[in-house]
Amino acid sequence: MKRIIIINEGPTEQEFCNDVLLNYFISKDILIETPTIKSTNGGIVAWGNLKKQIEAHLKHDSTAYVTTLFDYYGIKDSYNYPRWQEAKSIVDKSDRLDFLEEAMRSDLSPEIRQRFIPYIQLHEFEGLLFCDIDIFRNNFEPKEANFVELESIINRFSNPEEINNGAATAPSKRLEILIPGYLKVVYGACLASDLGLNKIREKCPRFNSWIDKMESI
């Protein structure tokens, strides 16, 4: 059985991988392992730290693949991701992340980089939850959530990954406003699991491309 190590930003992403991706990839004869990023209690770290963890996994097992699952929202200039300033000059955010992911891959030594599948979630994990208004209607009472505005957001963007990353307009910030009491660690992975992998792949093209790449190893 082939093996992919998915380095997750935090416990929510880790739970999502275990609940939603694990059995799917087992059916493809691929075993996934889901460690979180080291040196953090949940969150993005400097590229130097993450690179060491990626390299350690790739060098420990010459047959394993490594990928990442962390949010674009929250990456700081001081984290020194490769070619970061060049990436920021690319207007289209999807193209920007394609460029940045390739820069990450190219920053590894040639003998291991072919087994690295970099992935950054545009804009953040919570964006995936905006695939279908029913996921909110089925999990919250009308008094607990502003369904009208949630549905308006879903209809306003061509796909959930485009919901932007401003300090007040990132997907998580919108959810905190429209669902008072929303906590990522409580609801994030559960709602994504209820949505199901097929719906997320259908609505989120970058995420779908990531799954395709992992399937094709």
Give yes or no: residues 190 and 202 share one domain: no
Give yes or no: residues 174 and 203 share one domain: no
Per residue in 49-74, pLDDT (tens digit) is 999 999 999 999 999 999 999 999 88
> Which structural domain range is residue 191 located in?
125-197
Percent of all residues in the chain with a pLDDT value above 70, rounded to a whole number: 98
pLDDT above 90 for 43: no
Q: How many CB atoms lie within 10 A of CB 151?
A: 16
| pTM greater than the 0.85 cutoff | yes
Give yes or no: residues 55 and 15 share one domain: yes
Contact 150, 136 (CB under 8 A): yes
Contact 16, 185 (CB under 8 A): no
Give yes or no: residues 80 and 40 share one domain: yes
Contact 49, 110 (CB under 8 A): no
pLDDT above 70 for 41: no
Give yes or no: residues 167 and 208 share one domain: no
Give yes or no: residues 78 and 146 share one domain: no
How far, in Å, CA of 73 to CA of 166, rounded?
Answer: 8
Give yes or no: residues 130 and 71 share one domain: no
Give yes or no: residues 106 and 64 share one domain: yes
Q: What sign does the CA torsion over 154, 158, 159, 162 have? A: negative
Give yes or no: residues 205 and 107 share one domain: yes
Query: Taking residues 24-36, what's their average pLDDT?
Result: 98
Beta bridge partners of residue 116, listed in sequence order: 66
